[in-house]
């Protein structure tokens, strides 16, 4: 006689959220055996733990501390405020679940969802409206031979073989994760400086993937462009950089392409993202290339290309939106004066919105102008929310809204938005930097340092994490370390910002003469280029000269310095926060008095 083993989970919770426990366990098993999860052991363990605890009727146990002990083997001294392992892995788990339901699990009748801000899973039947995306994953893609440009003698023993291996990695990911059909046979890649031959594939394909590879002594940079075969129009372009010994960046770029091709998107969202004229399109793509490098200097360079794009095609809404965004960020870093950038930013944002009100990036541009230039925070928030509603899968909208929330002192909500952006694009450098900056704003300096170190490992030549490390170390009072990190950030070519940070650190560490020297450098620079009053204010604040610091803050308000709101969040001005003039200043720019000591998420 065969005995029956009674599963205690089934006895405890037979139905959760209207879904029988047997169906929940079956769905969990499918997910754990999927390609998206099979190699992610910690994520599998995380998901299994939260689901089983829920089925046991113990959702109250799903707290950050207990998960750290039970899932990630932390000791009893584990402090979630210092060690962010659970929050980081929760972001990865949400992203993996979305990936699974977008691809392998798109036909599953049951969904397991982990909402932001909670570790308790939700179980639901999938609605009929969540079927396959309009861009079916069985589409065919031809990978054309790549152009090899500026190949250097010592870059690689055989650049042609390296380029072909990169093509094969792209094909592997497209087939494995996107169910695309790769129909073209790889052809010999052109020699350096030659143009790739035009494809003559006998079978017409839906898309053509073109690319160029620039080899350097220490690695390569890959540019991919996707075209629709029917009209040869560009619909997607991205770049990545890496080393030939590690092609993980190629896999990540291919996965990004899969996500973008398989994600549902309305025609209204995509309308006018592509130009009708080659000159405009080429300029826009070059601008996006420089923008994606995400350094202050490259963002400034992108302005010229976006300007060319809108001059060639004045009805190109996406180029107007990109121009407004690039001008804004350049102004925040102090690369361009407000008197020059503000009128152009407004014009570009308004033109983008009027040309296509359904373009998410146009709404982001207008929301930024309303918030940082006009100080109309409610109207700016409305535009940011419209952007996210138009395209929830676009990380840019979440980043912009997160920064807007941070300026208004809503730090927990700001971190949630940036974490959402990272769920959508985990390897992107700028959102990772912004998250570290937000940790510093919340005075969670150890987490800020950990996040910036992560970014510096992702891209060793990226300057922003050194700026972030300098600010976080200064917040902890470790001024010698802060100065060392800021010195490493000089490659960013935003000297006025760095001189202000360095002068503040010198002042706070008792090195008054060196602080005054930085003021002298800023005064000299101001004779030929724009210097933000915020840099002077930071140094005088560090020196304890409150009246002089407040005078420069008033000047920043007077000229509507674009960096004003973001830099007011830093520790440089903590000694002024209770001063009546400082509180009046915040009132002038429409911001409440924030409690930074208790603003963590």
Q: pLDDT digit string (tens) for 100-118? A: 888 888 888 899 988 776 7
Residue 47 has pLDDT above 90, yes or no: yes
**pLDDT digits 0-9 by tens, 364-382:** 999 999 999 999 999 999 9
8: pLDDT strictly greater than 50:
no
Sign of CA dihedral 482, 488, 491, 492: negative
Q: How confident is the model at residue 594 (pLDDT cuts 50, 70, 90)?
A: low
Compute the distance between CA of residue 135 and CA of residue 532 in angstroms, rounded to an integer. 47
Residues of the chain with CATH 3.40.50.10070: 140-264
The mean-pLDDT minimum among 44-48, 544-548, 552-556 falls in 44-48
Q: Which helix (H) or strand (E) holds 233?
A: strand 233-242
pLDDT of residue 532: 93
Q: Is 112 helix (H, G, I), strand (E, B) or coil?
A: strand
Asked whether residue 131 carries a pLDDT value surpassing 80, the answer given is no
**Chain-wide mean pLDDT for the chain?**
81
CATH class of 140-264: alpha beta
Among 1-15, 65-79, 503-517, name the one with the lowest average pLDDT: 1-15
Higher pLDDT, 31 or 293: 31
Task: Count Cβ atoms within 10 A of the Cβ of residue 195 and give its class: 0-12 exposed, 13-18 middle, 19 or more buried.
Answer: exposed
Q: Residue 494: which of 531, 523, 440 has the closest Cα?
A: 531
Q: How far apart are CA 144 and CA 139, in angstroms?
A: 16
In the prediction, which pLDDT does 135 show? Answer: 34
pLDDT digit string, tens, across residues 54-110: 888 888 888 888 998 989 888 888 888 777 788 888 888 888 888 888 888 888 889
Give the DSSP H or E segment for 571.
Answer: none
Handedness of CA 34, 37, 41, 42 (dihedral sign): negative
Instruction: Lowest mean pLDDT of 214-218, 532-536, 546-550, name the range.
Output: 214-218
Q: Between 301 and 39, whose confidence is greater?
A: 301
| Residue 395 backbone zone (phi > 0: left; psi -120 to 50: alpha; other: beta) | alpha
pTM: 0.58
Please report which confidence band the pLDDT of residue 362 belongs to, taking 50, 70 and 90 as the band edges.
Answer: very high
464, pLDDT greater than 90: no
The answer to whether 263 touches 236, Cβ cutoff 8 Å, is no
**Which residue is associated with the tokens 């409440």?**
592
Question: Among 34-43, 412-421, 450-459, 572-581, which stretch is predicted with the lowest mean pLDDT?
Answer: 34-43
Q: Which letter does DSSP use for residue 462 in this model?
A: -
Q: Is the pLDDT of residue 231 over 90?
A: no
Q: Out of 79-83, 175-179, 213-217, 307-311, which region has the weakest mean confidence (pLDDT)?
A: 175-179
Q: H or E element: which one contains 315?
A: none
């Amino acid at each position: 006689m065969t005995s029956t083993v009674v599963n205690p989970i089934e006895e405890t919770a037979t139905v959760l959220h209207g879904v029988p426990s047997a169906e929940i366990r079956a769905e969990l098993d499918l997910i754990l055996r999927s390609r998206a999860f099979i190699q992610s052991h910690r994520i599998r363990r995380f998901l299994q733990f939260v689901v089983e605890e829920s089925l046991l009727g113990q959702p109250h146990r799903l707290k950050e501390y207990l998960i750290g002990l039970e899932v990630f083997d932390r000791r009893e001294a584990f402090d979630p405020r210092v060690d962010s392992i659970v929050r980081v892995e929760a972001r990865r788990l949400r992203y993996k679940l979305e990936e699974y339901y977008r691809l392998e699990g798109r036909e599953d009748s049951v969904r397991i969802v982990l909402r932001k801000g909670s570790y308790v899973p939700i179980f639901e039947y999938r609605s009929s409206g969540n079927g396959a995306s309009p861009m079916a994953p069985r589409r065919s893609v031809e990978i054309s031979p790549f152009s090899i440009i500026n190949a250097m003698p010592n870059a690689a023993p055989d650049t042609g073989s390296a380029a072909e291996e990169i093509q094969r990695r792209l094909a592997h990911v497209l087939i494995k994760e996107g169910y695309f059909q790769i129909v073209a046979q790889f052809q010999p890649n052109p020699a350096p400086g030659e143009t790739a031959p035009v494809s003559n594939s006998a079978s017409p394909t839906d898309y053509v993937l073109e690319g160029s590879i620039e080899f350097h002594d220490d690695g390569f940079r890959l540019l991919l462009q996707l075209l629709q075969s029917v009209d040869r129009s560009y619909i997607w372009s991205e770049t990545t950089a890496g080393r030939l010994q590690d092609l993980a960046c190629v896999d990540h770029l291919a996965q990004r392409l899969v996500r973008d091709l398989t994600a549902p998107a309305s025609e209204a969202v995509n309308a006018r993202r592509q130009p009708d004229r080659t000159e405009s399109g080429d300029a826009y793509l070059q601008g996006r290339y420089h923008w994606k490098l995400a350094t202050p200097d490259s963002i400034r360079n992108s302005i010229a290309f976006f300007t060319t794009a809108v001059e060639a095609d004045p009805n190109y809404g996406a180029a107007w939106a990109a121009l407004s965004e690039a001008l804004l960020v350049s102004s925040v870093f102090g690369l361009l004066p407000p008197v020059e950038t503000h009128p152009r930013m407004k014009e570009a944002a308004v033109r983008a919105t009027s040309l296509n009100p359904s373009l998410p990036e146009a709404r982001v541009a207008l929301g930024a102008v309303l918030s940082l230039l006009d100080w109309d925070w409610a109207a700016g928030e409305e535009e940011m929310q419209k952007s996210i509603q138009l395209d929830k899968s676009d990380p840019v909208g979440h980043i912009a809204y997160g920064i807007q929330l941070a300026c208004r002192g809503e730090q927990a909500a700001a971190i949630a938005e940036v974490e959402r952006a990272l769920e959508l694009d985990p390897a992107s450098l700028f959102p990772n930097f912004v998250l570290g900056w937000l940790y510093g704003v919340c005075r969670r300096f150890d987490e800020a340092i950990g996040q910036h170190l992560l970014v510096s490992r992702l891209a060793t030549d990226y300057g922003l994490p050194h700026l972030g490390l300098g600010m976080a170390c200064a917040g902890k009072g470790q001024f010698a370390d802060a100065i060392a990190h800021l010195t490493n950030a000089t490659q960013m070519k935003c000297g006025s910002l760095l001189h202000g940070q360095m002068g503040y650190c010198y002042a706070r560490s008792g090195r008054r003469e060196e602080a005054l020297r930085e003021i002298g450098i800023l005064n000299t620079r101001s004779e030929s280029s724009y210097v933000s009053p915020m840099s002077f204010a930071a140094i005088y604040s560090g020196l304890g000269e409150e009246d002089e610091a407040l005078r420069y803050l008033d000047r920043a308000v007077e000229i509507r310095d674009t960096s004003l709101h973001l830099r007011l969040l830093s520790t440089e001005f903590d000694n002024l926060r209770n001063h009546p003039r400082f509180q009046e200043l915040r009132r002038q720019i429409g911001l409440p008095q924030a409690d930074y000591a208790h603003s963590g998420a």
